[in-house]
């Protein structure tokens, strides 16, 4: 049996958990470590922390949040955002991360993947691929949270990443990300058919049917989900609201607004629904 | 000191230490011969390449320290690569000699499809441990149950010569493999108990109860 992983993805800006659409327009949602704890208790299989501005400002601000999380949460934590050197990777691993996700620097210098997988082991190195579908239906990789065009073709890039020792691919459709319109199934299928390492699908999930499709139709080994969990958590767990550092765009939280297109289920409810559709998943005893 | 977490520069030792701290075991991350031998329990963690790890253990004489610790009869725990290193040899990128504390080999998973599902290598994720009818009552698994989920990250698995040391088996696609062993004072597992939620922490809790 292969058990599919459900992985909450927490985008971080400064001290706060944020969420945008198409990786932009970030809204503050709360304290990341509190959401992380909630997701751990509900049966999350791993966590992803993505520093959304580290690449832009060339800083690594996540280490405090990682350490606070890793002391109490005993599932794997992947950290991405602004990792440019073996020393950067070492720093977040020492802070408590189990894996790192590399994008911008890996595209700039592909040998970084080779060096990193040799130094830390393939299973520690996740290559994050953020892609936009082009008018000719090809997929190109972008860096710096979707801001920078690279011209790199996704299919050949994931093959190269695997050859260079990547242990997993974290595949983000920037077109779908934050929209709640469902995953880009064609993209996920293309990538999972191209590599023999696990593929984590990310971008677009609003409900468990979307997750089901990404697994059944496209062969995803894991899914990373964000908006649908965060908005459900804010709906159900009132005490999470208001618990954030007053930095960034907090208008969304103050208005207590919501997004109708996202489901209201937490991780354990999502898992139960998927198990009823015969998707093999880990459940808590 | 309760636990010496053996540092051979190859893994995330933080999570092992965090698990020890959570269950009230004092621990130190160390490559120091005396510090390791004076601890009540030694843990050999690890993620990464077998050959590189053996080279480091040899060059730093940590292999001798590990032998001495195991001979002392005190509890010794191997995790992931720390399980594989205990064996005679590995076929990872050529043939490497291991510590030889357990008779058997280390083999590589093959990427394959089984019942129209693809099984990527490495195996990364949760899988079940199966007791195979063996009683776990007197082992570190005494609070665990048949088919408990544990977290695995590996491309290689062990094949002990003596099947009676196998505590659990796990199935990945068409491959059923040994996912933990108990051999005298050595307990070792392929999965990461410190990354396997509260169920995995049971193993650390038992380590404290039984031995400290």
Query: What are the structure tokens assigned to B133, written together?
Result: 């009818």
Nearest-CB residue to B47 (from A74, A123, A196): A123
Q: Which of B22, B112, B118, B145 to mutate to test the interface with A (most CBs of A within 10 A)?
A: B118
Question: What's the pLDDT at A114?
Answer: 96
Query: What are the structure tokens assigned to A40, written together?
Result: 């751990």
What is d(CA B107, CA A17) in angstroms, rounded to the nearest whole number? 42
A11 is catalytic: yes
pLDDT band at B203 (very low <50, low <70, confident <90, very high): very high
Percent of residues, chain A, with pLDDT higher than 70? 89
Inter-residue contact A55 to A144 (CB < 8 Å): yes
Question: What's the pLDDT at A244?
Answer: 58
CATH number at B193 reads 3.40.50.880
CATH domain A5-276 topology:
TIM Barrel (3.20.20)
Question: What's the pLDDT at A102?
Answer: 97
What is d(CA A66, CA B186) in angstroms, rounded to the nearest whole number? 32
Tell me: pLDDT of A58 over 70.
no
Tell me: pLDDT of A57 over 60.
no
Question: What's the pLDDT at A249?
Answer: 67
Domain-wise residue ranges, chain A:
5-276
CB contact under 8 A, A123 and B195: no
What is d(CA A13, CA A55) in angstroms, rounded to the nearest whole number? 11
First-last CA distance in chain A: 18
What is d(CA A45, CA A30) in angstroms, rounded to the nearest whole number? 21
Catalytic residue IDs of B: 80, 192, 194
Average pLDDT score over residue span A245-252? 63
Burial of A239 (0-12, 13-18, 19+ CB in 10 A): exposed
Question: What's the pLDDT at A237?
Answer: 76
Burial of A179 (0-12, 13-18, 19+ CB in 10 A): middle
Give the angle A126-B202-B181 at the CA atoms, nearest 5°.
Answer: 75
Nearest-CB residue to B18 (from A71, A124, A284): A71
What is d(CA A284, CA B119) in angstroms, rounded to the nearest whole number? 23
Give the angle A227-A228-A231 at the CA atoms, nearest 5°.
Answer: 75
Burial of B166 (0-12, 13-18, 19+ CB in 10 A): buried
Average pLDDT score over residue span B99-110? 95
Question: What's the pLDDT at A254?
Answer: 60
What is d(CA A116, CA A121) in angstroms, rounded to the nearest whole number? 7
Question: What's the pLDDT at A257?
Answer: 54
CB contact under 8 A, B125 and A198: yes
Q: Where are the alpha helices (DSSP H) in A195-283?
A: 208-216, 227-236, 251-255, 267-276
| Residue, of A239 and B78, whose pLDDT is higher | B78
Structural domain harbouring B135: 3-211
What is d(CA A195, CA A127) in angstroms, rounded to the nearest whole number? 12
Write down the pTM of the prediction: 0.94
CB contact under 8 A, B153 and A123: yes
pLDDT band at B122 (very low <50, low <70, confident <90, very high): very high
Name B119's bridge partners: B112
Q: Is A22 left (phi over 0), alpha (psi -120 to 50) or beta?
A: left
CB contact under 8 A, A45 and B125: yes
pLDDT band at B197 (very low <50, low <70, confident <90, very high): very high
- What are phi and psi for residue A280, nearest 5 degrees? -75, 125
Tell me: pLDDT of A71 over 80.
yes
Q: Identify the contact set of chain B against chain A, taking CB-CB distances under 8 A.
A: 10-12, 14-15, 18-19, 21-22, 47-49, 111, 117-122, 124-128, 145, 148-149, 151, 153-155, 171-173, 192, 194-201
Question: What's the pLDDT at A27?
Answer: 86
Tell me: pLDDT of B102 over 90.
yes
Q: Among A41-55, A231-245, A259-273, B75-89, whose mean pLDDT is lowest?
A: A231-245
Mean pLDDT taken over chain A: 90
How many domains, chain B? 1
| C-beta neighbour count of A64 within 10 angstroms | 11
Average pLDDT score over residue span A61-78? 90
Which residues in chain B have Cβ-Cβ distances shorter than 8 Å to A197? 120-122
Tell me: pLDDT of A94 over 90.
no
CB-based contacts of A103: which residues, under 8 Å, 6+ apart?
Answer: A55, A80, A127, A128, A129, A130, A143
- Total CB pairs under 8 A between chain A and B: 108
Tell me: pLDDT of A49 over 90.
yes
ipTM score of the complex?
0.93
pLDDT band at A256 (very low <50, low <70, confident <90, very high): low
| Residue, of B70 and A94, whose pLDDT is higher | B70
Which residues in chain B have Cβ-Cβ distances shorter than 8 Å to A189? none
Strand bridging mode A5-13 / A16-21: antiparallel
**Residue B206 CA neighbour count, 13 Å, CB half:** 20
Which residues in chain B have Cβ-Cβ distances shorter than 8 Å to A96? 12, 14-15, 18
Question: What's the pLDDT at A56?
Answer: 54
| Residue, of A251 and B3, whose pLDDT is higher | B3
Query: What are the structure tokens assigned to A202, written together?
Result: 């990310």
Question: What's the pLDDT at A84?
Answer: 92
- Of A45, A51, A105, A130, which is the active-site residue? A130
| Residue, of A157 and A14, whose pLDDT is higher | A157
Give A197-209 pLDDT, tens digit per residue.
999 999 999 999 9
Give B37-53 pLDDT, tens digit per residue.
999 999 999 877 788 88
Question: What's the pLDDT at B199?
Answer: 96
Tell me: pLDDT of B2 over 90.
yes
Percent of residues, chain B, with pLDDT higher than 70? 97
| Residue, of B1 and A259, whose pLDDT is higher | B1
């Amino acid at each position: 049996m292969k058990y599919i992983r459900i992985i909450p993805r927490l985008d971080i800006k400064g001290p706060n958990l944020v969420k945008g659409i198409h990786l932009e327009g970030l809204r503050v949602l709360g304290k990341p470590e509190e959401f992380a704890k909630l997701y751990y208790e509900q049966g999350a299989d791993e966590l992803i922390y993505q520093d959304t501005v580290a690449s832009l400002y060339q800083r690594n601000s996540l280490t405090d949040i990682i350490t606070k999380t890793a002391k109490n949460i005993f599932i794997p934590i992947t950290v991405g955002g602004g990792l440019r050197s073996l020393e950067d990777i070492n720093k977040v691993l020492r802070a408590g991360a189990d894996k790192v996700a590399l994008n911008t620097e890996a595209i700039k210098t592909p040998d970084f993947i080779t060096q990193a997988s040799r130094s830390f082991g393939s299973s520690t190195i996740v290559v994050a691929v953020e892609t936009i579908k082009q008018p000719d239906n090809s997929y190109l990789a972008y860096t710096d949270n979707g801001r920078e065009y690279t011209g790199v073709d996704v299919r050949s890039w994931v093959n190269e990443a695997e050859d260079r020792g990547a242990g997993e691919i974290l595949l983000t459709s920037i077109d779908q990300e934050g929209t709640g319109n469902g995953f880009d199934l064609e993209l996920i299928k293309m990538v999972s058919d191209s590599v023999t390492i696990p593929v984590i699908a990310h971008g677009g999930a609003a409900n468990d049917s979307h997750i089901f499709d990404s697994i059944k139709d496209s062969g995803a080994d894991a899914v990373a989900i964000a908006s649908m969990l965060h908005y459900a958590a804010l709906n159900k767990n009132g005490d999470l609201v208001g618990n954030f550092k007053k930095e960034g765009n907090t208008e969304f939280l103050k208005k207590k607004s919501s997004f109708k297109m996202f489901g209201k289920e937490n991780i354990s409810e999502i898992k139960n629904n998927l198990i009823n559709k015969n998707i093999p998943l880990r459940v808590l005893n | 000191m309760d636990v010496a977490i053996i540092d051979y520069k190859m893994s995330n030792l933080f999570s092992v230490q965090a698990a020890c701290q959570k269950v009230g075991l004092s621990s130190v991350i160390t490559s120091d011969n005396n510090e390791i031998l004076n601890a009540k329990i030694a843990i050999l963690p690890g993620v990464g390449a077998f050959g590189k790890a053996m080279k480091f253990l040899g060059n730093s004489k940590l292999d001798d320290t590990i032998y001495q610790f195991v001979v002392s009869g005190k509890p010794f725990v191997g995790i992931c690569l720390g399980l594989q290193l205990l064996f005679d040899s590995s076929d990872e990128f050529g043939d490497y000699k291991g510590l030889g504390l357990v008779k058997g080999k280390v083999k590589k998973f093959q990427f394959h499809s089984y019942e129209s599902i693809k099984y990527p290598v490495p195996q990364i994720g949760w899988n079940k441990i199966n007791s195979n009818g063996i009683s776990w009552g007197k082992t570190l698994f005494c609070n665990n149950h048949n088919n408990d989920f544990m977290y695995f990250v590996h491309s290689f698995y062990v094949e002990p010569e003596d099947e009676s040391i196998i505590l659990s088996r796990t199935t990945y696609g068409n491959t059923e493999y040994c996912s933990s062993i108990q051999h005298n004072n050595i307990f070792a597992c392929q999965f990461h108990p410190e990354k396997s939620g509260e169920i995995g922490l049971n193993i650390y809790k038992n380590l404290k109860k039984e031995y400290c």
